[in-house]
Amino acid sequence: MPLCYLSAYKYTRILWILQAKKHAFVKKVCSLPFCPKVCYNDTGLLGRKEERNLSILRTIALFVYLFGYMIVHYATLRRAERALAAGDLDTVEQIVKANIPRWSRGILHVTGARMTVEGQKNIPAGPCVFVGNHRSYYDIPILLTALDAPHGILAKEELEKIPLLNRWMKLLGCVFVKRDDIRASVKALNDATAIVESGRSFVIFPEGTRYKGEEGGAGEFKAGAFRIAIKTGVPVVPVAISGARGLFEGHGLRATPGDIRVRILPAIQTAGMSKAEQKQLPDAVRQTILAQL
């Protein structure tokens, strides 16, 4: 295993302890020879300069881990791709379920995120469409960790250009969409619909982009994404994500510890919906999620 990968993991453990507000923990860590010389003030909190420096180091560790994991597990990726080419979907599923949640949990761990998940009992036994509010880049690893299993995601086309990550996402069953191209968007929705028809659940962020307004808000939920559930007749499961923006975007694109709450809400059945109910579905789901933020 590359030294940089081990160092990133080891250093994030140090960062986590340095965030503790009890002087006894800090003194214990700072007595170690490999610990950075960072001290707490009388209030038990780091000063602004020290906190900024820690945040920068944590961000570096995050990206080393993010790509280091994929490099270290490249042979596993190739094995999954060969299995997919051979039609061995069981092997692909085993590899995806073993690696992607672990990778996602590692991202949250390196960041120092503390996640609470509520309502997992609301996840249906069969396929469904998970609908979440979108505030942060972290929403994807959050849902890959919080849900019952890793599911395909309707993702922006820019992610398809990131080496290694794009290949793992394709194994997961993600569909990439070009948001400003109507024809490409229709094709992406049709591809996602085919995945759900095959018996697999899917994740969509119907705002189409990250909402940059105040905490507790959400953008307009576009109707197109809900057609996946309506056309296949599977339930829509609203998912409310709180606190994700504070992990990165809220601190100048620096990885910052914080609390996340994920609430998986009761499923909404789409089978047998009238045309009027179908038209009201996007806003109804949006209001359901807003009430939990």
Which of these ranges, 23-32, 96-105, 129-138, 145-154, has the smallest mean pLDDT?
Answer: 23-32
pLDDT at 11: 52
Residue pair 221/206 in contact (Cβ under 8 Å)? The answer is: yes
Selected residue with higher pLDDT from 246 and 24: 246
Strand 113-118 relative to strand 129-132: parallel, antiparallel, unpaired?
A: unpaired
Rounded Cα distance, 213 and 227, in Å: 26
What's the pLDDT tens digit per position in 82-124? 999 999 999 999 999 999 999 999 999 999 999 999 999 999 9
Closest to 51 (Cα-Cα) out of 13, 97, 19 = 19
pLDDT at 35: 41
Strand 202-204 relative to strand 152-156: parallel, antiparallel, unpaired?
A: parallel
Closest to 65 (Cα-Cα) out of 107, 16, 108 = 107
Q: What percent of the chain has pLDDT over 90?
A: 71
Residue 37 pLDDT > 50, yes or no?
Answer: no
What's the pLDDT tens digit per position in 212-251? 888 888 999 999 889 999 999 999 999 999 999 999 998 8
Token code pair at residue 193: 């619909």
* Residue 197 burial by Cβ neighbours in a 10 Å radius (0-12, 13-18, 19+): middle
* pTM score above 0.85: no
Strand 236-242 relative to strand 258-264: parallel, antiparallel, unpaired?
A: antiparallel
What's the pLDDT tens digit per position in 167-195? 999 999 999 998 788 888 899 999 999 99
pLDDT at 246: 93
**What is the Rg, in whole angstroms, of the alpha carbon atoms belonging to the chain?**
21
Q: CATH fold of 74-290, please?
A: Glycerol-3-phosphate (1)-acyltransferase (3.40.1130)
Q: Looking at residues 151-171, what average pLDDT do you find?
A: 94
Residue written as tokens 């009890």? 22
Residue written as tokens 């504070």? 246
Residue pair 152/188 in contact (Cβ under 8 Å)? The answer is: no
The full set of domain ranges for the chain reads: 3-72, 74-290
